[in-house]
Structure 1
């Protein structure tokens, strides 16, 4: 058996040394030892921090020295985060529309009383407009009413086209979710026909937030227009309005601008709905669940049986 194994291995040992492949082992040494000293100086030994060290047992002076060696800033007991306020959270000193506006006669007693009350409150609006002019010299109430109508039309067209990025240019951060509410998977057809009355500024206010220099301005514009609105659901069924029938719309839209911001623009902020306004028409697919029918419980009166006399 041993002879057979040697007979098989024998030819390998008889090969010449030139035919054998030399074996090389891996090494960390550089092939050129000329700059050995310079390569050694490239490495810097540092003291690694002890992660298991108990910081509660270290004195404040020692901790300050260690942080100074590592180039770390001392921790602050408070946290500062920069924030930017681009819009207010609501309407301050909102405009109260006169009852019957757009329908009641100007000669009626109720409208006469309301006109006197509006004249008394007009002084604050004039002061607010003067404040707005101190930031924007070209501001004019009559010209702004036409600009507000352009912003109003562009905002509603962006909503109808489902253009979210264009809509943010014309509405504030507060009004954006209100515009987009319940419009998911809906098709909106909106068209502005004409103005029954020219738009006019009826209310103006200014306020400061956090600091006296951070001032916001709000202007309420009255719109009396004729519009067409039709809303379809995701199946193409008409759920509100009509594309044929036009309606007269009376609205009080609040526009807001960050006056302290050099690049601030007027945007739609809110809509004032008076208390005397009629309720909105429900959608055509809305169904009212009928109240449950009362269940009549019949109580059977037990008849008193006569007592049996003892025999």
Structure 2
């Protein structure tokens, strides 16, 4: 034994041969993989087995039982419309607060302000830094960026500023058209006129809607695919009074304020119709058309002559 130990020490010192200890070898039981072979004698078809047997077999294999219905998860990112829409006062933007009609409008707004204050308080419960004055400026930036994306036909970026409900409406009938839109200035500072909150499906799933009044000056010109002017003008600026509804999924941590819909009151004058252009087709007279015209005139004269009965 002493001789063997001297040899191993000599080999390890000079040839650097690793010496394995008995603890590093795994036992023979761990080197064998156990395979469960199927029992062909006691195997049954699924049709012959009872529901309890099927359940026990699936439980042994760790398989969940099949369901007779299909459940697909869905996410509600926006509402389908406006809940409790804002009713704009008639003559807004024309009557001043000094007149009798304007003072009446101010008094009606104060009466309806209690529900809006409660909704704003609920919005502040989700967003502590929310302020109506700051939000009006933020809403104007969202409004401008949404319309610039519409004019540039940026279908991906516009989803950051527009809800899924307003997305098809804002891009409707913009194909094969060139749109020039420009925001010049705001005649009156934007202000929050209406706010509401509601829950969908569950009480924890809360959505918030805020209506902002915009009185701005804009330039809009729409050209068709042939470059002909259909609507508006790039030179003339127009005063635009709009009531835009912004929506946010308050329960969602990553929710954003986006354009949801525009409120068009009944007393607002109708928009200018789009002038449609047509291609004037000039018919060129040929020899065939002349001969056809001569034949038709000859047949008409023969038919108009009186016929004499033979005796």
1:132 aligns with 2:123: yes
1:209 aligns with 2:200: yes
Which region of structure 1 is more displaced relative to structure 2, 112-121 or 163-172? 112-121
Distance 1:46 1:279 in 2: 80
Aligned position for 1:294: none
Aligned position for 1:254: 245
SS at match of 2:63: coil
Q: 1:268 aligns with which of 229, 246, 259?
A: 259
Give the superposition deviation at 1:42: 9.2
Give the superposition deviation at 1:72: 2.4
Aligned position for 1:95: 86
Aligned position for 2:183: 192
Distance 2:169 2:216 in 1: 21
Q: Calculate the TM-score normalised by the size of structure 1.
A: 0.72
Q: 2:112 aligns with which of 112, 117, 121?
A: 121
Trace 1:22-33 onto structure 2 (pairs within 5 A).
Answer: none
Distance 1:104 1:117 in 2: 15
Give the superposition deviation at 1:213: 1.3
Aligned position for 1:15: none
For structure 1, the 5+ residue unaligned runs are 1-40, 288-311
1:238 aligns with 2:229: yes
Trace 1:39-58 onto structure 2 (pairs within 5 A).
Answer: 47=38, 55-58=46-49
Change (3 A) 1:48 1:141: farther
Q: Deviating runs (4+, > 6 A) in structure 1?
A: 41-45
Distance 1:82 1:203 in 2: 33
Aligned position for 1:111: 102
Distance 1:105 1:253 in 2: 22
SS at match of 1:219: strand
Distance 2:277 2:54 in 1: 69
Distance 1:138 1:68 in 2: 52
Give the superposition deviation at 1:54: 6.9
Give the superposition deviation at 1:110: 3.5
How many residues end up aligned between the 2 structures?
A: 244
1:81 aligns with 2:72: yes
Give the superposition deviation at 1:202: 0.6
Give the superposition deviation at 1:207: 0.9
Do 2:179 and 2:221's aligned partners in 1 also have CA atoms closer than 8 Å? yes
Distance 2:62 2:225 in 1: 61
Distance 2:129 2:96 in 1: 35
Q: Calculate the TM-score normalised by the size of structure 2.
A: 0.72
Do 1:98 and 1:111's aligned partners in 2 also have CA atoms closer than 8 Å? no
1:152 aligns with 2:143: yes
SS at match of 1:164: coil
Change (3 A) 1:68 1:126: closer
Query: RMSD across aligned C-alpha pairs, in angstroms?
Result: 2.4
Distance 1:150 1:63 in 2: 61
